[in-house]
Structure 1
Amino acid sequence: MSTEAVSWAMDDAPMLRTTSGKADATARHVLQALAEHANKQGRNAHPSVTRLQYRTGYDRRTVQRALRRLEDAGLILRDGTVQDRTRYRLAMHLTRPATDWEELEKAEEADRAATAERVRKHRAARSKSKEVTQPECVTETHSDDVTRGDVTHSASVRNALEVRDVTQSECVRNALNAALTTNQPPGEPPSTPVAGVGGHSAGPGAAPPNAPIDDDGFALTDAMRRWAAATFPALDADYETEQFLSHFRADGARRRNWPEEWKKWLRRSAKYASERATRPPLRAVNGSGWQPYQNPIDPSAYTNGW
């Protein structure tokens, strides 16, 4: 596998489009799987159709049609045969235009603006619903027009039979026979969601909603483990999967095809690991920058006592 060929297929190769103008993700995936078998110059890629099926998950006809579209676009060229398998050469001199990235940035900005507008409208609607009635709109009623002065007066026995002064300490007989005060709190607290007492409504400590990757049910399958072991034996699939889950749980983004996004994650990890392995170690030299590390100890300068 060549890092240059895989990097070209993933990032730099022109993106094919369907008749509706959308990105041809199927052809892109087949191109990436084909690039994993090419050398540094993009040559000598001759995997079987069955191998491409195994790596992409597509059926045989889908893989063959994707290869035909890549040939028609000039991204791959037939370069003989190897053991009855077609050998391909990648057109690595072709690169996608910079406008592809600019279009994605514009689409992201438009999506952010639309989200901000929805939030603004939602907050405006909530603020409007919480408006309090203005004081000048409230009708003021005089207390003399509401309750007669003799209704609850203790000197009126007839009225006291209907509304008794049960807390009057001087009238023991009426206090014993009087009904309970109407504003006495009930024995059991209400369990309505409004009261928030005795119910089971979610409070401030409720668990946060799941991330899209959890809602979509992404999980590491045995087939994915076998793919990782066959393609990148040096990588720890479980560790990379945990990193993958943590990233997208924190990001909160949704992907159309999580298994393919996971494979893309492993390809990048393998690429970075390969670059780190070929990079010489560095050391600081008196503020003059980083230089390749050299062992300053000359073994011949010391005696056998070391």
Structure 2
Amino acid sequence: MSTEAVGWAMDHAPMLRTEKGKPDTTARHVLQVLAEHASPTGTEAHPSVLRIQYRTGLDRVTVQRALRRLEKGSLIAKDGTKEGRTRYKLAMGLRRPATDWSDLEREEDEFRAAAAERKRRSRAKSVTHAEFVTVTDSEGVTVTHGKSVTGDVTHSESVRHALKVRSSRTERSPNHPQPSDNQLLKDSSPAAKPDEQQAHTAPVQTKSSSEKTDHHLEAFGAFWLTYPKRKAKEEAKKAWIAAIERGADPQHILAAAKGYAHERAGQDPKYTKYPATWLNKGCYDDEPDPQPGRPPLRAVSGGYQPYRNPTDQSVYDEDL
């Protein structure tokens, strides 16, 4: 098996497309089998159709059609026969465009954004905007004044009004005079609008954990595009959320990532930290490395002394 040919078929070979614009995964699978039987230069690939069927699990007609599509796409070319089997040569000079990866990342971001929007709309539809009555099940009702009411609730405002009238009537003892006509008119008047209630009666709404996570990820895209090594994106997202929850400022992290990218420019990428490692270790709070050419500080007796140029005579005159 040639690792060079297999690596080309898996990572660098151009992706064929179907008539509907979808990736031709069948042809790519057949191409990988050809690469497994090719030389390091992509020649001498002559597995039988039966062998390709065995490796791919495809039927004979599907394999033959995939071979024709690979030939039409100039990814393979017939190079004679060997042992009664057609011999192919792989076009290893063809390379997959770099835009394929950015297109996949864009599609992934669009898919996640659409999923988050569907989730947000689903939560918005399931929220009950009750002012004073919270229905826990089909029977029980919890009121802000702590009284329990059993029955069918049709409208939160009407229930509040009914409880108010009932409370004003039942709390009076027989020794007290009957309510006046003005009081009865006041009790039977329409309920006040929500914006006229006291501020302390409004229910407090808190963000759910999923909403907090969506909020933390709003600036992650800018960080991902800025950081010099884009590896393990899911782990980087978890580390980003953890850093923000620890109190880190997203703008500070982004500025530190830009500085780190400038620092690693032209350096060996294998020594560049993964984004998740960089975030988990709090490297965004590290001091930047000193700029090349800047004179170092000298440790002398008597405390700190700034660096002095030995050719500057005025410095020594001052000491005198």
TM-score, length-normalised on structure 2? 0.43
TM-score, length-normalised on structure 1? 0.45
